[in-house]
């Protein structure tokens, strides 16, 4: 309810940035409409009319104007029960954040989504492939590439030619981002939405990564971060946010030796580190042996995935339900959601 055309234009522009739609009215058509809106934006005249109508108190009432209300106008703000008073365009960032919060609360009332960080215990461990498998198996997932030297996780997914934003295209300015607006702008393949690295060597901005992870969590999505084996500010953000850190380790002695050092680094940043052990095991090393050597608990073990290299070359990973990758990914998600998974005695063939 904003009468001034210039101010209404500012509101529309901010709403578009937040990924929400603004519906302009002279006054609420009913109390139900008033209560059901994700947020209510009023100018001072609109606030005065709503207060006179005696509408019920609610959260998410935002009063906007070109200047701060004068002392004799504040009683209108109080009477309508405003949550925030904002001056546009000065307070645009604050209004974006308020609308993103309101939209996310309204769109998804489920619990906060989990964050999984996936790291390879050594070069070629298959961490990117496993992160992609997790995204395929999770009911609602956002796959995030945090390794600028990986060549782009969209190659693994098969979406490298699909239109949409990559990391170099995002300019979040340290603000917040709505999950629905973000996923609408990103490539998606087989139901998996992916935010991939762009040019090799362009480090991921830690503030932008914080906003992306927070947006995914608030929307109830499982956010899966594919991390490099080196400490960067962005990697620190992902490890700090992670509910579970998955270390992927091939079942051979040299890989175990490398993974032991990586595991120590990860555990110093986040104690919730577990192993996914990947076959084949040329020396007969069992998954429980790998767990003992690396000194981290076993989350899942898996046999080699038949035809994996060819599948990746022919259009990207799409693991079948009964495949070793999909089975291991489901066991990790079971652990993530605190459901027991008996994998300790499984052998890696």
Q: Kindly state whether residues 90 and 141 are assigned to the same domain.
A: no
Q: Is the separation of the CB atoms in 234 and 205 below 8 Å?
A: yes
What values do phi and psi take at 283, rounded to 5?
Answer: -100, 10
Of 119, 214, 129, 221, whose CA–CA distance to 176 is shortest? 214
pLDDT given for residue 84 in this prediction: 92
Percent of the chain at pLDDT > 70 equals 93
Cross-sheet strand order for the sheet of 273-278: 188-189, 192-195, 141-145, 222-226, 115-120, 244-250, 273-278, 298-302
Of 125, 117, 116, 132, whose CA–CA distance to 312 is shortest? 132
- Answer yes or no: is 342 within a domain: no
Q: Kindly state whether residues 90 and 9 are assigned to the same domain.
A: yes
pLDDT bin (cut points 50, 70, 90) of residue 312 is confident
pLDDT given for residue 339 in this prediction: 40
Residues 223, 177: Cα–Cα separation, whole Å: 14
- Tokens standing for residue 329: 């990914």
DSSP state of 168: G
Residues 326, 129: Cα–Cα separation, whole Å: 11
- Answer yes or no: is 181 within a domain: yes
Q: Kindly state whether residues 207 and 138 are assigned to the same domain.
A: yes
Indicate the range of 22-36, 237-251, 257-271, 296-310 predicted with least confidence. 22-36
Percent of the chain at pLDDT > 90 equals 59
Please report where in the chains the tokens 């959601």 appear, as a residue.
337
The range of the structural domain enclosing residue 182 comes to 115-336
Residues 206, 288: Cα–Cα separation, whole Å: 36
Mean pLDDT across the stretch 138-162? 91
pLDDT given for residue 199 in this prediction: 66
pLDDT bin (cut points 50, 70, 90) of residue 344 is very low
Of 239, 234, 215, whose CA–CA distance to 113 is shortest? 215
Q: What is the largest CA-CA distance in the chain?
A: 82
Residues in the chain: 349
- Answer yes or no: is 91 within a domain: yes
Last residue of a domain, one of 107, 138, 173: 107
Q: Kindly state whether residues 87 and 131 are assigned to the same domain.
A: no
Q: Kindly state whether residues 197 and 319 are assigned to the same domain.
A: yes
pLDDT bin (cut points 50, 70, 90) of residue 37 is confident
Residues 232, 228: Cα–Cα separation, whole Å: 9
pLDDT given for residue 112 in this prediction: 78
Q: Kindly state whether residues 128 and 13 are assigned to the same domain.
A: no
Residues 133, 135: Cα–Cα separation, whole Å: 5
Please report where in the chains the tokens 């004799």 appear, as a residue.
72
Burial of residue 286, with CB atoms counted within 10 A of its CB: 0-12 exposed, 13-18 middle, 19 or more buried: middle
What values do phi and psi take at 142, rounded to 5?
Answer: -125, 120
Q: What is the pLDDT of residues 237-249, one digit of tens each?
A: 999 999 999 999 9
Q: Kindly state whether residues 138 and 285 are assigned to the same domain.
A: yes
Q: What is the CATH number of the domain that holds 58?
A: 3.40.50.2300
Q: Is the separation of the CB atoms in 16 and 92 below 8 Å?
A: no
* DSSP secondary structure, 50-110, as one string: HHHHTPPP-S-EEEEESSPPPGGGHHHHHHHT-SEEEETTTTHHHHHHHHHHHHHHHH--S
Residues 43, 25: Cα–Cα separation, whole Å: 12
Last residue of a domain, one of 107, 135, 150: 107
Q: Kindly state whether residues 188 and 304 are assigned to the same domain.
A: yes
- Answer yes or no: is 67 within a domain: yes
Check the CA dihedral 173-178-179-180 and report its sign: negative
Last residue of a domain, one of 53, 76, 107: 107
Q: Kindly state whether residues 128 and 97 are assigned to the same domain.
A: no
Q: Kindly state whether residues 196 and 225 are assigned to the same domain.
A: yes
Above 50 in pLDDT, residue 51? yes
Above 80 in pLDDT, residue 345? no
Q: Is the separation of the CB atoms in 182 and 245 below 8 Å?
A: no
Residues 185, 164: Cα–Cα separation, whole Å: 6
Number of domains in the chain: 2
Q: Kindly state whether residues 185 and 313 are assigned to the same domain.
A: yes
- Answer yes or no: is 344 within a domain: no
Q: What is the CATH number of the domain that holds 235?
A: 3.40.50.300
Indicate the range of 34-38, 170-174, 267-271, 340-344 predicted with least confidence. 340-344
pLDDT bin (cut points 50, 70, 90) of residue 186 is very high
Q: How many CB atoms lie within 10 A of CB 151?
A: 15
Q: Kindly state whether residues 153 and 265 are assigned to the same domain.
A: yes
Mean pLDDT across the stretch 96-113? 75
- Answer yes or no: is 240 within a domain: yes
Q: Is the separation of the CB atoms in 25 and 42 below 8 Å?
A: no
- Tokens standing for residue 300: 């899942």
- Answer yes or no: is 341 within a domain: no
- Answer yes or no: is 245 within a domain: yes
């Amino acid at each position: 309810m904003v009468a001034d055309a210039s101010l209404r234009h500012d509101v529309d522009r901010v709403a578009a940035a937040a990924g929400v739609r603004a519906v302009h009215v002279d006054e609420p058509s009913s109390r139900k409409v008033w209560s059901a809106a994700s947020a209510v934006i009023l100018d001072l005249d609109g606030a005065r009319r709503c207060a006179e109508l005696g509408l019920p108190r609610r959260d998410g009432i935002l009063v906007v104007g070109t200047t701060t209300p004068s002392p004799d106008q504040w009683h209108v703000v109080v009477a309508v029960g405003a949550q925030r008073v904002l001056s546009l365009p000065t307070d645009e960032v604050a209004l974006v954040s308020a609308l993103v919060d309101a939209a996310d609360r309204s769109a998804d009332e489920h619990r906060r989504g989990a964050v999984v960080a996936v790291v390879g215990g050594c070069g070629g461990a298959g961490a990117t492939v496993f992160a992609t498998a997790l995204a395929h198996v999770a009911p609602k997932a956002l796959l995030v590439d945090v390794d600028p030297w990986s060549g782009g996780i969209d190659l693994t997914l098969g979406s490298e030619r699909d239109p949409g934003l990559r990391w170099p295209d995002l300019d979040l300015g340290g603000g917040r981002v709505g999950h629905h607006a973000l996923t609408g702008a990103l490539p998606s393949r087989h139901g998996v939405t992916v935010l991939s690295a762009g040019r090799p060597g362009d480090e991921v901005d830690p503030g932008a990564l914080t906003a992306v992870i927070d947006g995914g969590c608030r929307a109830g999505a499982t956010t899966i971060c594919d991390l490099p084996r080196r400490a960067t500010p962005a990697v620190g953000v992902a490890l700090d946010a992670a509910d579970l850190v998955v270390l992927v380790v091939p079942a051979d002695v040299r890989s175990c030796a490398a993974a032991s050092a990586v595991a120590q680094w990860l555990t110093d940043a986040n104690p919730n580190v577990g192993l996914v052990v990947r076959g084949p095991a040329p020396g007969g090393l069992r998954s429980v042996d790998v767990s003992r050597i690396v000194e981290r608990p076993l989350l899942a073990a898996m046999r080699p995935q038949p035809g994996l290299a060819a599948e990746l070359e022919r259009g990207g990973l799409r693991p079948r339900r009964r495949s070793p990758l999909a089975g291991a990914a489901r066991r990790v998600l079971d652990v993530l959601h605190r459901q027991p998974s008996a994998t300790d005695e499984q052998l890696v063939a």
